[in-house]
Amino acid sequence: DIQMTQSPSSLSASVGGRVTITCRASQTISKSLNWYQQKVGKAPKVLIYGASGLQGGVPSRFRGSGSGTDFTLTISSLQPEDSATYYCQQSYTFPVTFGQGTRLEIK
């Protein structure tokens, strides 16, 4: 299975600020990388598909980039509702696999 590793595991930032989360795949996955947001007690919600595509209805302050093995999710103009855990997921090969998650706290 392809291993996905995220960093950091957790971070804290202020309203209006910007954060970057990184995700590394154990082998090349082209741009088959999705980002999900999960709030407590809820199912994951897809934010970014294909490394940089913005899912419909997702604010443009969420931005994804990368290809191959290294990817980033940047969230700008942080809002209180961005407090959540963020997961990267590779869809290059079965089984799809997820990173361990990054917990974001908004101060």
Partner 1 sequence: QVHLVQSGAEVKKPGASVKISCKALGYTFTNSAMYWVRQAPGQRPECMGWINTGTGDTKYSQKFQGRVSITRDTSASTAYMELSSLRPEDTAVYSCARDWYSSGWRTMDVWGQGTTVIVSS
* 99 lies in the binding site for partner 1 (CB under 8 A): yes
* 102 lies in the binding site for partner 1 (CB under 8 A): no
Contact positions with partner 1 (CB under 8 A) in 31-70 = 31-32, 34, 36, 43-46, 49-50, 53, 55
Rounded alpha-carbon distances, angstroms, from residue 51 to 6, 9, 76: 14, 20, 17
Compare residues 66 and 101 and give the one whose CB is closer to partner 1. 101
Residue 62 three-state SS: strand
First to last CA, the chain: 37
Distance of CA 77 to the CA centre of its chain: 16
- Please check whether residue 104 is in contact with residue 17, taking contact to mean a CB–CB distance below 8 angstroms: no
Compare residues 66 and 78 and give the one whose CB is closer to partner 1. 66
- Contact residues for partner 1 (CB under 8 A)? 1, 31-32, 34, 36, 43-46, 49-50, 53, 55, 87, 89, 91, 94-101
